[in-house]
Structure 1
Amino acid sequence: MEMGRIVCFGELLLRLGAPGRELLLQSPQLQVHVGGAEANVGVSLSRFGHDVAMVSTVPGNALGAHALGELRRHGVDTRAVREVADGRMGLYFLTTGAVQRASEVVYDRADSAFARSTAADHDWPALLQGADWLHLSGVSPALGPQVAEATLAAACAARASGVRVSFDGNFRPTLWQRWGGDAQAILHALFDQADIVFADYRDIEVILGQRFTQAGTVERVDAAAAAAFAAFPRLQWLACTQRQALSVDHHVLGALLLGREGVRAQAPVRQLTGIIDRIGGGDAFAAGILHGILSGFDADATVRFGLAAGGLKHSIPGDFNPVSEADVLAQMGEERFDVRR
């Protein structure tokens, strides 16, 4: 197992959720969880046994301190997280759906301490010292032009230092629309720096400006991956899930891992019933794939591990997936639901 160092760059958030299946503020209480796309990946990788560091910016108050404390509790190094006096914490509000009522998210991230940070705030040669991977996502550049520049600077610095880049497309149209950002151009530049991307055919359509009209979802992913490998010569891997939501509580989840040299692995679909919390499921999948690559798993084992990790996250409240490698391997090897003694 290659116990490399992984650096994650992105915003730390507080999630304020209506309790149970209530509508937002149906009763005067909210449940608080710490999250953020990149932090979610970092926590999972740390729980799998890797050396993980977070780079971010939080306000120097009780909210920022709580977020950092939660990361440290899961073994993530937070020494590179800046604390600033005049910032605010990024928030989002979650209403969990039920039956045929979909879940809803309301963002409150404008002018957060992280959104106001710039490329000049980060000494990337120093921050990447000893790192093997840098993990980024498309959520960060969607926050505004300064953070977009900072995210691209991080990716370019990693590439120049020989650090591999992992990038999750995480296309968030509402965030891009808020400031009129050129999502296609900025995401294209980030994909061009990546060794592995977590993206499905819809992300590739946005970035390459072309449509994939094959009959089935898997066929569209295959075609999009071929187009991405042609467009981005540094790209080695593309991974994604395929989700069919039969109801809020019953999803069918599959996964693909495609390599530049023609490697293609597809995990058997998983039936997820009685879902507790799907937020962070994609991040748990990404962490599982990265763990498989770092651990030297073959492509088939890697995609099965990633899907099992993502599936387990649906059973756990909150954004983080605090499960061990042994938990995921047990899920891959058995489908029994009796108590493990």
Structure 2
Amino acid sequence: MKKVLCFGELLLRLSPVLNGDWLRKHNTPIFPGGAELNVAMALSRWNLKVKYITALPDHYLSHEVLAHLQQQGIDTSGIVFSGRRIGTYYLPIGQDLRHTDVIYDREHSAFSEIKTGMINWDELFDQVGWFHFSAICPALNENVAEVCEEALQVAAKKGIRISLDLNYRAKLWQYGKNPVDIMHRLLPHCHLIMGNIWSANTLAGIPVDANIHQGANQDTYLDHAAKTATAIKQAYKNCETVALTYRFEKGEGIDYFGTLHLANGDYCSPLFSTPHVLDRVGSGDCFMAGLIYGIYNEHRPHHVISFAAAAAFGKLQEYGDATYQTIAEVESLLKAYEYYI
């Protein structure tokens, strides 16, 4: 089995318990993460061969983190050692990365300073069948966007399948470029594009109904998802598969479902609902991992989207950035929603 290669910035997330607890108790949880690493962690746990590529400073803290990833079965042999800093961010547990409370500290990190020519993509793509990255990478600066483009060109020449998560982080797109202009250079290479109807609008220029929430029901959202998927495929001819998520806040809880759009039809997961969420971070990454896992193993389309959505929903009840759910646990959750494999 060929490997899945995930490329992105490794981050350390600091999650202080507010109202002064982190000061009084001298204790703040730290979670290793980053969108693409979260995908790699899930895929390795689900028995796919995974390689992870990032840039880190060559010091003891980096090597501690890499030893942890290696223990999870992730190939870190291609890591680039450069720069002086590991990127960090601050987010209280329970908040979402799109929330205004997120504080990024990623400027001048090792990953943010990578440039074209620093990574030997031709060598790294040996024995790789799938390449995954996210829109967070090109959001950092134009140099990183150019590195993404460099990687995509090599992957395309080698016939490697490419997936992209259209995750939009407004606080990161601060270098004076229109996100759509940057993403238009990257999207044409992608075979699987995942996101939601709003990120597809912001990052890919796909039309969105600004009034969709007025009197909407699930059928309304499913109809819009199908239209968005069709528009993405028409705009980017290499795109074979589109997956979209819907996540609605309900007080302290969430309603969640996903859609999958292929040449042979549109598919929808069960509607998952919970009155309480432990941690919102990493749910979308878990969904992305579920898609890759299902498609890589050639599962039936309805099972692909249902497994991905169940995994994402299950992640909402775990602390930290990456999931530790097993395949059996995800499938057990599906059965609880009367979906039988």
TM-score normalised by the chain length of structure 1? 0.90
SS at match of 1:268: coil
Q: Map residues 294-309 of structure 1 onto 2, 5 A cutoff.
A: 294-309=296-311
RMSD: 1.9
Q: Tell me, which stretches of 5 or more residues in structure 1 are unaligned?
A: 337-341
**Which whole-Å CA distance do the structure 2 matches of 1:55 and 1:9 have between them?**
5
Match of 1:316 in 2: 318
- Alpha-carbon distance, 1:23 to partner: 6.6
- Aligned-partner SS, 2:14: strand
Aligned to 2:178: 182
Equivalent position to 2:274, from 262, 266, 272: 272
1:222–1:24 Cα change, 3 Å: farther
Contact 1:246 1:252 in 2 (8 A): yes
> Which stretch of structure 1 is more off in the superposition, 322-331 or 40-49?
322-331
Deviation of 1:105 (Å): 1.1
Match of 2:72 among 55, 71, 74: 74
CA contact (8 A) 2:168 2:203 kept: no
The separation in 1 between residues aligned to 2:20 and 2:133, in whole angstroms, is 32
Deviations 1:99-124 (A, max 9, x none): xxx67211000010010011211111
CA distance in 2, matches of 1:173, 1:183: 10
SS at match of 1:251: strand
Match runs of 1:238-257 below 5 Å? 238-247=242-251, 249-257=252-260
Counting aligned pairs with the same residue, the percent is: 28
Count residues with an aligned counterpart: 326
Aligned amino acid, residue 285 of structure 1:
F
Change in Cα spacing, 1:23 to 1:159, as seen in structure 2 (3 Å) is farther
Q: Which residue is 2:283 aligned to?
A: 281
Counterpart of 1:147? 144
For residues 70 and 236 of structure 1, the distance between their equivalents in structure 2, rounded to whole angstroms, comes to 35
Letter in 2 for 1:51: K
Contact 1:192-1:235 within 8 A present in 2 as well: yes
Letter in 1 for 2:169: R
Shift of 1:32: 0.5
Q: C-alpha distance in 1, partners of 2:20/2:242?
A: 37
Corresponding position: 1:291 with 2:293: yes
Residue-by-residue CA offset, 1:15-65 (whole Å, 9 max, x unaligned): 00013x657956443110100000000010000000000111011123212
Q: Which moved more, 1:195-204 or 1:63-72?
A: 63-72
Partner secondary structure for residue 278 of structure 1: coil
Deviation of 1:210 (Å)? 4.8
- 1:193 matched to which residue of 2? 189
Residue 339 of structure 1 corresponds to none
Of residues 216, 222, 234, the one that matches 2:238 is 234
Contact residue 239 and residue 256 of structure 1 kept, 8 A: yes
In structure 2, the partner of 1:37 is: 35
TM-score normalised to structure 2 length: 0.90
Query: Which residue identity is paired with 2:81?
Result: E
Matches within 5 A, 1:200-215: 200-213=196-209, 215=212
Q: Deviations over 1:56-97 (max 9, x none)?
A: 10111232123212211211111111122x420100001235
Q: For the structure 1 residues 24 and 156, does the alpha-carbon distance in structure 2 shift closer, same or farther, using more than 3 Å as the test? A: farther
Question: Is the Cα–Cα contact under 8 Å of residues 206 and 231 in structure 2 kept in the other structure?
Answer: no
